[in-house]
Amino acid sequence: MQYRRIGEVQVSAIGLGGMPMSIEGRPDEARSIATVHAALDAGITLIDTADAYHLLAGEVGHNETLIAKALASYGGDTSGVLVATKGGHLRPGDGSWTKNGSPDYLKRACEASLKRLGVDAIGLYQFHRPDPTVAYADSVGAIRDLLDEGKIRMAGISNANPEQILLANEILGGRLVSVQNQFSPRFRSSEPELDLCDRLGIAFLPWSPLGGISRAADLGSAHGEFTRVAEAHGVSPQQVCLAWMLAKSEHVVPIPGSSRPETIRDSAAAADLVLTAEELASLD
């Protein structure tokens, strides 16, 4: 496993996204816990979750609770694992996603996440998605307060544009450590954010890096060049995709979602897959 940095913390170059374990189509708890354990066995030390990763209205924080249980039941040392969670997105239970970026709500959400994760301070707390009804500076100001109060160790944002990244970093006094945006072969419009993070030395965490839960399995057929490169190396197109992302910047840390041990093992192996300059050019 290769390693990168989020703030001053060293993490595996590939992380684990927990969302598929808790929303529609989620597996039983035993398989989800086995998936987390497989990720840890493969050397993954970054796990991304959120209080909004749940299905029913009455189970807010389902994924946070699941991740905490998986870590507690793991036989090895988990002290070096960074758990990143998020607040500001909600699921009413009807399949929709809503937003609440008010400072009071974000502070309450953080307190609840602290309890579910069973920690004194959250390793990385991220503002999940901008709320158009609340000034962005006010939402990020709440994250700054949580950082100053020691309730979170590092601060990040998600689903942000370049202007919001710069504003957040200013409000946080230069302490913004990560930006989590959608980025994949089929969704490349976050290139400006990736480039900005590279220039600023901020970690860029691509979510749905393989195209999303319903499309990940078809990545190779939808993007034939990834299949061609994969065949040359004897690996999966998905593994090539993650290696391609890693080659874009030393600050990129993909967080593919997974709910099966075999898929997260395959993703983790991408950290050690080296592609040629010619192959990378063919994928861009």
| CA dist list (Å): 257 to 156, 167, 274 | 19, 29, 22
232, two tokens: 């040359």
- Element housing 157 (H / E): strand 155-158
Radius of gyration of the chain (CA): 18
266, two tokens: 């395959």
Nearest to 67 by CA among 111, 123, 22, 4: 22
Q: Half-sphere exposure (CA, 13 Å, Cβ side) for 91?
A: 21
Alpha helices in the chain (DSSP H): 29-41, 62-73, 103-117, 136-148, 162-171, 191-200, 219-222, 224-233, 237-248, 261-268, 277-283
Residue 53 among the catalytic residues: yes
Paired with 26 in beta bridges are none
Active-site pick, 53, 105, 125, 136: 53
CA-based torsion, 28, 69, 15, 110: positive or negative: positive
Nearest to 119 by CA among 90, 87, 89, 85: 85
Phi and psi at 222, nearest 5°, equal -80, -25
Catalytic machinery residues: 53
